[in-house]
Structure 1
Amino acid sequence: MKKRQHVLILGGGVGGVATAVALRKSFDVTLVTESDFINYALLPKLFVENLNYLNAIIQTKILSSFGIQVYRDTISLIIPSEKKVKTKKGKLFTYDYLIIALGAEVPIAPHFWSIEGFSQFQKEAVNFKGGKLVIAVEGIPYRCPPAPFDIAYRLKRYFESKSLNVQTIILHPEAKPLIAVGEEVHKKLIQGIEREGIELKAAYHIKKIDPIERKIENESGELVNYDLLMYVPKHKAPNVVSQSELSTNDGWLNVKKNFRTEKYDNIFGVGDIIAPTLGLPMAAFLALYEAQFVSSLLTNQEPPNKAEAACPIEMGSYSFIPFCDFRSKIENGLPPKCKIIEAEQNFIGFFRNLIHQRLLSLFSGL
């Protein structure tokens, strides 16, 4: 009997898990992850419903029931020329194919982009008695570009439901937020923000934050005071990638439009780690697409023909869902083809549940 080839997957996020599940029947699959699977999209919901962050975590070890070997460890070194990967615990892995799905590193701050950030924001929000709620975006890239705007509205409504007077301000580095997915999406966003009384300071480049005086200063010297801060840090490439021969000058994984690395045909990238390289947003939907695409290449199947992504933006009666196909961006560097689905808040909630169920389906082998 012919020995099956070995696929080593680094990272247990959406892209890594989806690739592992898709390849498990055709290859021996090993997944190395330093943490359990986290559904970050649930964190805002858990906050407003006063639920524990544990509700957003799925134990990655259940993948073992699919025949996938799972190791909890941190990657310390990738040696492409020898087809080897080393970990901090001293484990040495070899592979026939390597899938790098290590995501992006998110510095700890009060935000919903990590479990640590979620816990920190929860603690600070307990003492919030009203005043200025500031959602400050440090820089691009960050996971799920529409999220700060959606979260601003949901937090505003949450605190108002507690009879608090809230002035909500968004600081964003882009002159025209979400313009990358089209003028129509940008205009719709601005309409919703203005209607809900949320202030947007665009092209605001943060220079420093004074946590004692509770002040934020931009590069022009403009100061913004806050009573409660959500700080969205610029995401960074993991050092194990940025310091390797596989990275771009910016530190992200250097891949071609078929998600193979530039130097090695047996190494692929999936998810947030390749998004900046290809000019894509960091989004779970795109990680799923990339996982399906890479899996189809390795199993000689027809690849998916659409790279669709959607992210609901809740803004009361101005709620909407940008729905985009990024194939043109991946293949030719052209803007994605997008349309707007206007939706009532009840449908937004329904759509969020669908997204959650789709992520859960990864762990049921569907």
Structure 2
Amino acid sequence: MKAAIRSTLLFSLSLTCMPLVLQAADNGKEFVGSEKCRSCHIQEYNSWKESYHAKIVRPRKAGMLKEAFEKWTSDGTGPGPTKGNITGKAHTLDDVQYVVGSRWKQRYLVKNEQTGNLQFMDKQFNRLSGMWENYGQKNDWDTQCATCHTTGYRITSYDEKAKRTTGSTFSERGIGCEACHGPGAKHVKAKGIQRKRTIFNPANVDSQAQSKVCGYCHVRVENETWHTAQGNPREDMPAPKRGDSYRAGEDWTTWTGIIMPGLQAENPFTKEYTGDLKGLFKTDEHARANGIYEEAKHHQQYQGFIQSQHFKSGSLSCITCHSPHAGKGKLKKVARNSCGTCHAPSYTVEKYMPNTGQTAGGLFVRSHTFGKNPRTGGAGAADLKEPNYYE
């Protein structure tokens, strides 16, 4: 593997901002990065560093799946990735700058010379089947996915006339400490008791507010306020003000100009959606009979969870069962064992959290609706071994 891995991303020059999207003060120095957190929170940092949050976007050499590397030319049935999805330009393995994901599937980013951003290649690797699948995302990663694949993401320039994101940046590639705790510059500078008051701690808010932090990314929406570099409605939620970043603890569900299925009265779970939102919930007879509409695609966990009695009663939140990292003197939680802390042994994730949300061909993510009459699910992450990376 010959090509050097770029450690910085290129962004377009500033153009025109949207008149109705207010300019926020520059926050480029608010986020300090996870390495800074490490100096005081070593146990939490080391645990986070091994998480999939930390590994969501990595340079090719460090993050590429070994099996995908070995099958790059062909999986025995068909070829691997050969071109960029937007430009159609031929690309080789040496052109790959970053890989996205590794637990369920993996996708590959190459430069889009038209915009200076990154674009996906035309195939993704399915870990369950060990095969290449067509992947058709035709929007720059920087203007479609980066809000949740990075920390401190913000739009720096926007062409209102053409409705295109023309510039963006972020403080850290991957889902760092500040993605869930908010910007840490004030926290680092504070002394004594003020330190705790200058950082967001999910433990200090109610269960529904805790889950909302996770829900910011584990949700499927269509953003009609911001558009991609290619002029399409975005599927992520950059902060409403140009130059600003989402800060953990903010109530993003009140933001306007975004279709949030299941979260807005005018956009119920049972609505017939179009485009990328088409078929996002199970609305068959089984769902209607139970009044629960399970997730049918991936990154919809929040939309499933808010339907559950667990959420509605405030009895638990996402971090009751999941922990992004270990804590001081505490081991990282094993989510699949969580049911047993409140229920009899007969309550298992296999039974009450069927794999309903499709994330790749024949590969599914668990529903978080916790219905009393669960449906049969497909294969999921529990059916896969831990990923092996090419060194």
TM-score normalized with structure 2 length: 0.27
More strand by share: 1
More helix by share: 1
TM-score normalized with structure 1 length: 0.28
